[in-house]
Amino acid sequence: MQAPRTQAVALRASGRSEVEPRVEPMVVGDASAGFAGLGLTEWLQRAVAEAGYQTPTPIQGKAIPHVLTGQDLLGCAQTGTGKTAAFALPILQRLSLGPTRGRVRALVLAPTRELAAQIGASFERYAGSSNLRTLVVFGGVGKHDQVKALARGVEILVATPGRLLDLVQDGSADLAGVEAFVLDEADRMLDMGFIRDVKRIASFLPTRRQTLMFSATMPEPIEKLAGTILRSPARVAVDPISSTCEPISQSIFFVEKPEKTKLLVRLLRTDSMDRVLIFTRTKHGANRLVRELDAAGFGAAAIHGNKSQSARVRALDDFKTGRIRIVVATDIAARGIDIKDLSHVVNFELPNEPESYVHRIGRTGRAGRSGVAISFCAHEERPYAKAIERLTRRSFVEAAMPRHDSRAHDSRAHAPARARLSS
Ligand code: AMP
């Protein structure tokens, strides 16, 4: 079969510029009646039951009824809230009602390869018995297989912006049939410099379409972008970025830079730290820490932008299957990674943007489970800690240093005390 050739050159900009998002009256679904109460059809109810979901999460309860009506949506929610299913389920339902096969009917843009892969896996999992096909495309790997898969025909395309533009421009991807467009993690797209690409991609989409945009924060450029790509969107919000989740225990160690690795090693020797995601600010810092942990006898892997796609996938697989219990990541690489059952998130270095702290610790204590977030704060990082306290409106609880011998890892080792950042 011939590859569907794009009519990119013939397509015009969507002409949606400067449409102010207007807040529409709420469509009320009954989340207490489970997924059925939200209007999801039977085969999708079966799919969520098979995924083990019993009740909709708040973002699902709020978003699904809107998306099912075909309305545009601006969702303020971060990863870990169940937002993927909040858009994937109603989109699948709407697509299954239409007859067209073999062309891209839903397009999801995600900022990172990992997030794109996860979204693709979710669509595939929920699509189950339907004949809707999903393809994930991202950069850093060869284009050939992606071009071939596009030529075979897919209905759902999940992509990172750069590679998608490439595929559109060389005629391999045709977006003229897109009925539903999802822009996920819009604020991270902005941080990563993808907004121009996103706008360009939007210009290849039909004007008549449904657009859903999700972002954990709503900085001004994102509000503006919403104004240009959304039409009269419903707005739904869960977990505002300034409130960190309550089930997560958050503590801080005031520890100077040269002592951080030693402290980490001592903490890792405690039994309870069995699945740990550690954040560093830089890629070099992540590599160095992995080497130091290795030397101390802890198998760890780094995930960051300089790692090849196969190295990242291997690291994630090893972590998910329990072959390694420690992953060291930078903010951008970790963004959106869905790793279940994390026992601890460790901020080996505090982020200079307080919002990143909320994203980081959002990886533990997910879906109602409790988690532990530990932060290491050197003298020069104290302003970052203060900024985090201001944003989250919570004071850190200072943890007591574990003693050197293993017997010291009793309850007193983490005895809480109010951190005094102002002193
Ligand atoms: P997300 O925010 O989309 O990355 O989802 C976070 C995690 O929550 C994923 O592992 C989902 O499989 C899981 N999840 C999504 N919806 C539900 C639900 N209704 N009940 C339980 N877990 C869910």
Asked if the structure places residue 1 within a domain, the reply is: no
pLDDT band, very low/low/confident/very high, at 8 (cuts 50, 70, 90): very low
Residue that wins the pLDDT comparison between 367 and 115: 115
* pLDDT reported for residue 247: 55
Going by the DSSP 8-state scheme, the letter that residue 39 receives in this structure is T
Is residue 87 located within the same domain as residue 173? yes
Is residue 230 located within the same domain as residue 337? no
Question: Are the beta carbons of 156 and 134 closer than 8 angstroms?
Answer: yes
Q: Could you give the number of structural domains in the chain? A: 2
Domain boundary among 192, 218, 237: 237
Is residue 88 located within the same domain as residue 123? yes
**Radius of gyration over every alpha carbon of the chain, rounded to an integer in angstroms:** 22
**pTM score of the predicted model:** 0.61
Is residue 224 located within the same domain as residue 263? no
A 10 A CB-CB count for 299 gives 12
Please state which of the ranges 151-160, 179-188, 307-316 shows the lowest mean pLDDT. Answer: 307-316
CATH number of the domain where residue 360 is located: 3.40.50.300
Please state which of the ranges 6-15, 41-50, 313-322 shows the lowest mean pLDDT. Answer: 6-15
Is residue 194 located within the same domain as residue 285? no
Range of the domain at 27: 6-237
Question: Are the beta carbons of 252 and 375 closer than 8 angstroms?
Answer: yes
**Tokens 């979710």 — which residue?**
122
Domain boundary among 199, 214, 237: 237
Is a pLDDT exceeding 90 seen at residue 69? yes
Q: Which residues have CB under 6 Å of ligand 1?
A: 53, 56-57, 60, 79-85, 338, 340, 366-367
Question: Rounded to 5 degrees, what angle do the CA atoms 245, 246, 251 make?
Answer: 95
- Average the pLDDT over 354-367 and give the result: 74
Asked if the structure places residue 156 within a domain, the reply is: yes
Question: In this structure, what token pair is assigned to residue 284?
Answer: 């070099």
Is residue 180 located within the same domain as residue 230? yes
Asked if the structure places residue 213 within a domain, the reply is: yes
Going by the DSSP 8-state scheme, the letter that residue 185 receives in this structure is S
* pLDDT reported for residue 149: 97
- Average the pLDDT over 107-121 and give the result: 94
Domain boundary among 215, 237, 259: 237
Asked if the structure places residue 299 within a domain, the reply is: yes
Q: Ligand 1 center to residue 231 CA distance, Å?
A: 27
A 10 A CB-CB count for 120 gives 22
Give the residue whose CA is nearest to atom 14 of ligand 1: 82
Asked whether the CA dihedral 16, 21, 24, 28 is positive or negative, the reply is positive
Is a pLDDT exceeding 50 seen at residue 421? yes
**Cβ density class 310-324: b for 16+ within 10 Å, e for less:** eebeebbebbeeeeb
Residues 6+ apart with CB under 8 A from 177: 100, 103, 104, 105, 206
Is residue 217 located within the same domain as residue 365? no
Is residue 299 located within the same domain as residue 227? no
A 10 A CB-CB count for 208 gives 9
Is residue 255 located within the same domain as residue 321? yes
Asked if the structure places residue 242 within a domain, the reply is: no
Is a pLDDT exceeding 50 seen at residue 77? yes
pLDDT band, very low/low/confident/very high, at 317 (cuts 50, 70, 90): confident
Is residue 337 located within the same domain as residue 367? yes
| Nearest of 134, 129, 126, 52 to residue 90 by alpha carbon | 126
Is residue 315 located within the same domain as residue 418? yes
For the segment 220-262, what is each residue's pLDDT rounded down to a tens digit? Answer: 888 899 999 999 999 988 754 444 444 567 889 999 999 999 9
Give the residue whose CA is nearest to atom 16 of ligand 1: 82
